[in-house]
Structure 1
Amino acid sequence: MFTRSTQLWFFILVIPYLLSCSNNWLNEKPDEFLTVPGTVADYQALLDNVTLLNNAQPGLGEVASGDFHMSYDSWQSLFSRQERSAYIWESTDRFYGGEQNTDWAASYKQILTHNIVLDGLQKLKARHAADPEWKNVFGSALFFRSFSLYNLSQLFCKGYNDETADREPGLPLRLSADVDAHIGRSTLRQTYHQITGDLKQAIPYLGTSQKVKTRPSKQAAYALLARVYLSLEDYEQAGAYADSALQIQHGLLNYATLKAGSYPLPRFNEEVIFHASTTYGAFNASRLLVDPDLLGQYDEADLRRTLFFVSARNGFTFRGSYSGDKNLFCGLATDEMYLIRSECYARAGRYKDAIADLNLLLKSRWRSAHREIRVDDDAVLPLILKERRKELVFRCLRWSDLRRLNRDERFATTLVRTMNNTTYRLLPNDKRYVFPIDEEEIRLSGIAQNDR
């Protein structure tokens, strides 16, 4: 008989496959699909479920981040209550209205998949640990689990403060495929320790090239560590890991060679280190209207203005995703690494190095010959952060940036949205920078709701 974990594996991997098949499947014997995973290839197949593991990343933070607005009619037409709630930073008691939190549920389905793979590979370790394929799948599963945990932490945990990290609640850390295990909330420090620990463990197992960019690589692990340490405001570590990623993969697209079209930035382009994406109704071009103040920050000679944005009814909408389609890219890419390294150089007082990285990036983004930036030292960091927002717009990073930058009064931002003659505000460091935990999760597990 199947164990419960095996049954879950069956539903995660097999059912989506069956649903994608033609009706001719109904005339075939189903026995071939009832195989319990037991080989390295089986576990690689689990990790190649791109629909679940790559293209179902959390997006509520981007809905809430303030870089766009929509009309009242567009807001009302959104399919889910939680999406409407995220847009106006709704209170906990009104946020879900009985809906399951999509980001929470999808991320923990991903983590279950990672744990099934890791548990299964441990059973094969004695015979296969020296095999390159085993190593790659093992490192990939660790990377994927870290990626899911990090994305959850940016929505459902407070921003990191080393002085209080042992007292603040983190995530439920499910580290095995035993779905019956009762798991409470870890501390915030334990959550980040798990995230960084998984990535550091993954690095020696991963290679620097993969058949497809939906599979993680060594540079992807370095890049994600850079992103995580930036969130922790550990700028020395963030800069070092960004540099490690760039030592392996450093290419930049020349935007002058791209042609404006429906989706002008190609998927899996040379900047992409690891592909992941998200989609919500709010990001539909018929609803999303780019914040005019943000749009105004792009110079007329800045190619990002014409490649990222296109005229729409009542304003401009976004089309510049590295996903090459309507979904928002939230993976890892070299442009982000240049900006992380540049910011970290600036925070360490290495202003020439910081500006050199920024100039290298911007040279590939302007229509005419880019005039190198020369500014006073005290203007370097604000300039880098401004360019970070412009370059990484709609990349699922703004929410995390707001959370950390709001701790510095120089960069603190109040978000404001107005709809139907009602104005909504999110002040710096507001408790609503943490989303409510899924209501069903609280009912079943008994974990505490976030204080917001």
Structure 2
Amino acid sequence: MKKNIITLTFITSLFALASCSDFLDTVPDNRIDIDGADKFAPLLVSAYPTKLPMLMGEMSSDNVMDNGAQFDDMLLQEQLYLWEDPTGNDDDSPYGLWEACYNAIASANQALEGMDALGNPDNVKAQRGEALICRAYSHFLLANIFCMPYNPQTADQHLGIPYCKTTEKEVFVNYERGTLAQTYEQIAADIEEGLPLISDASYSVLKYHFNKKAANAFAARFYLYYQKWDQVIECADRVIGNNPGTSLRHWEEDFGELSLVSDVVSQYTSEKKVANLLISTAFSESGYVTGPWDIYKRYGHGQEIYKHQTIDTYGPWSVRGGLMMANFIISVLQKNPFPKITTFFEYTDKANNIGYAHTVVVPFTTDETILCRAEAYVLSSQHNYEKALEDINNWIVYHSVISEDEGADLTLEALNSFYDALPYEPALVNTVADRSLKKKLNPEGFTVNAGTEENLIQLILQLRRLEGLQEGLRWYDLKRYGIEFSHNRAGNVPIVLTKDDPRRAIQLPPDVINAGMKANPRN
């Protein structure tokens, strides 16, 4: 494949220049002068992206439906739902993510160069580990939004994203977009170097940084997408260990006595909860769009999906009394949200109702990591179905209404009986009768054997769907497994996303394309 070169003035906006004209007229030289180890920790605060792809992933996925033209929406929401190329510069748009991630990458690179200049003394090893993991994380977010799913057989034929490892000293810089294979190789290299260096002792507020468990949870998810099953298990073990009951969220205990939305969401995002590994803040309206707010209701987690495919649906996860989260669905029927994203508004002009929407989210939890491990157990060369089922049952126990000492674990026999009896959902869903919990899997680069193996994967993907609701994680699983699905359109024929549809790679921001970078292909 040709390497694509770009004069990327857009990326260099990440060097904190005062204005667009200053940027065009001046070589960026106003960075922090790092002359001692004490400067790295403050700099690395800005190595975490301030915008996240939650809304892009969620609106593109099968978690949402068109509830009807009588409800309101925003342009970005509609474009994502219809799999059109987004055009705006909103915080939740491709532009917002691109800018925020490369800003964060620039901070990580500046810290790494400062450490190199000091000779990488022992007292900055932990900060070096954090910088490398942060750099890998931002590139990972970009790759999974703007690239096709990773497939070892085709990754060298698909476009990657520019992997930036240095700070820039010139205004106009040539970047190679490269291949997806190269992007993943470089993410892996940063993780492999950075992970052993992470030290919890270096943080004053542990969960707002890539601490050891959070970094390993990120690595487990990355290796899952990279199809390195043994590495997934190894990293997840460091997070969960052999006694998941000590680290998973206990839903009945955490939420059973709560009634106020504010209390539920505060409990869900609390840094005191062992299950919460990394807590992030972001500029985003995602909490308003997907959460318990009576706005933006046209495209959402509507009743048809809620009752037949997600939270209110009977399935193997119901063996211990049903999901605790079902008790806290707020009565916005077009969204059916569980309050899991803290949302607040920062006014810059209160009189005119102008300001910024902020969210507090939990990008990595033990609950999602155990499902990464379960999936890896199934797909590894050992095909350890019993270990996978053990992780699944632990997830079910602690998400359920009935306490852990009641009920019975799910068995492989019960699992097979349930899924073998289900029809596959067609790619084109015309009526609610077409909806099914069983999807046709077309995995990218690996094989899922029929029978118990496929049934386990069907269940794990369903639990991942429940775990990642409102966070956009379902989109990546749909991509990884080549699941074909449709979006209904009120008053129109549904549209289908096939397994090879290039729109599975969301289009780059128009500004980036106009600057000369090769756009993602479209049919």
Shorter-normalised TM range:
0.7 to 0.9
**Are 1:440 and 2:481 counterparts?**
no
Task: Give the alignment's Cα RMSD to 1 decimal.
Answer: 3.1
2:78 maps to a residue whose letter is R
- 1:148 and 1:304 mapped to 2: Cα distance? 30
Aligned residue number for residue 23 of structure 1: none
Partner in structure 2 of residue 391 of structure 1: 467
- The structural deviation recorded for 1:341 is 1.0
In structure 1, the residue matched to 2:114 is 120
The answer for the alignment partner of 2:519 in structure 1 is: 449
Runs of 4 or more consecutive aligned structure 1 residues displaced over 6 Å after TM superposition: 97-100
Kindly provide the CA deviation profile for residues 407-430 of structure 1, in whole angstroms up to 9, marking residues without a partner as x: xxxxx2403132354633323332
* Corresponding residue SS for 1:416: strand
Question: Cα–Cα, structure 1 residues 97 and 386, in superposed 2: closer, same or farther, change >3 Å?
Answer: closer
Range moving further from structure 2, 54-63 or 113-122? 54-63
| Counterpart residue type for residue 367 of structure 2 | D
Match of 2:324 in 1: 303
1:271 aligned to 2:275? yes
1:181 equivalenced with 2:181 (yes/no)? no
Deviations 1:218-267 (A, max 9, x none): 22222212111211233232222222332399511211122243141242
CA drift at 1:34: 9.7
1:361 counterpart (395, 401, 413): 395
Please say if residues 161 and 177 of structure 2, whose CA atoms lie closer than 8 Å, have aligned partners that are also in contact. yes
Secondary structure of the corresponding residue to residue 115 of structure 2: helix
Say if 2:227 is the partner of 1:233.
yes
Aligned partner of 2:62 in structure 1 is: 66
In structure 2, what is the Cα distance between the partners aligned to 1:249 and 1:87? 40
Identity %: 22
Maintained 8 Å contact 1:219/1:248: no
Change (3 A) 1:120 1:387: same
Q: Could you report, residue by residue, the CA deviation over 1:40-81 in whole angstroms, capped at 9, with x for unpaired residues?
A: 3322112224xx825422231222113123545687542xx4
> How far 1:173 sits from its partner (Å)?
1.3
* Structure 2 SS opposite 1:125: coil
Partner-residue secondary structure (3-state), 1:183: strand
- The 3 A distance-change label for structure 1 pair 217 and 244 is same
Please tell me the residue identity of whatever aligns with 2:106: L
Tell me, yes or no, if structure 1 residue 163 matches structure 2 residue 163. no
Q: Helix, strand or coil for the counterpart of 2:488? A: strand
1:382 is aligned to: 458
1:195-214 alignment runs, 5 A limit: 195-208=187-200, 210=203, 211-214=205-208
Judge conservation of contact 2:200–2:206 (CA < 8 Å) in 1: no
Pick from 307, 319, 337 the counterpart of residue 317 of structure 1.
Answer: 337
Offset from partner CA, 1:349-377 (integer Å, 9 cap, x none): 21111111111222111111342111234
> Whole-Å Cα distance in 1 between the matches of residues 146 and 343 of structure 2?
29
Tell me, what secondary structure is at the counterpart of 2:207? coil
Q: Which amino acid aligns with 1:385?
A: L
1:333 matched to which residue of 2? 365
- The letter of the residue matching 2:481 is L
Distance 2:13 2:226 in 1: 37
Q: Secondary structure at the match of 2:160?
A: strand
Corresponding residue of 2:376: 344
1:387 aligned counterpart, secondary structure: helix
Structure 2 residue runs of 5 or longer lacking an equivalent are 1-11, 20-29, 345-357, 414-451
Question: Do the aligned residues in 2 keep the contact of 1:167 with 1:188 (CA within 8 Å)?
Answer: yes
- More moved, 290-299 vs 39-48: 290-299
In the alignment, the residues of structure 2 paired with residue 147 and residue 181 of structure 1 have an alpha-carbon distance, to the nearest angstrom, of 23
User: TM-score when scaled to structure 2?
Assistant: 0.71
1:373 is aligned to 2:410: yes
Question: Quick one: structure 1 residues 232 and 418, their matched pair in 2 at CA, closer, same or farther if it must change by over 3 Å?
Answer: same
TM-score between the two structures when normalised by the length of structure 1: 0.81
Corresponding position: 1:252 with 2:248: yes
Measured at CA, do residues 248 and 384 of structure 1 come closer, stay the same or move farther in structure 2, by a change above 3 Å? closer
How far the C-alpha of 1:277 sits from its partner, in A, is: 5.3
Structure 1 unaligned regions, length at least 5: 13-32, 407-411
Among residues 209, 222, 225, which one is paired with 1:215 in the alignment?
Answer: 209
Alpha-carbon distance between aligned partners in 2 of 1:314 and 1:212, rounded to the nearest angstrom? 37
| Map of 1:409 onto structure 2 | none
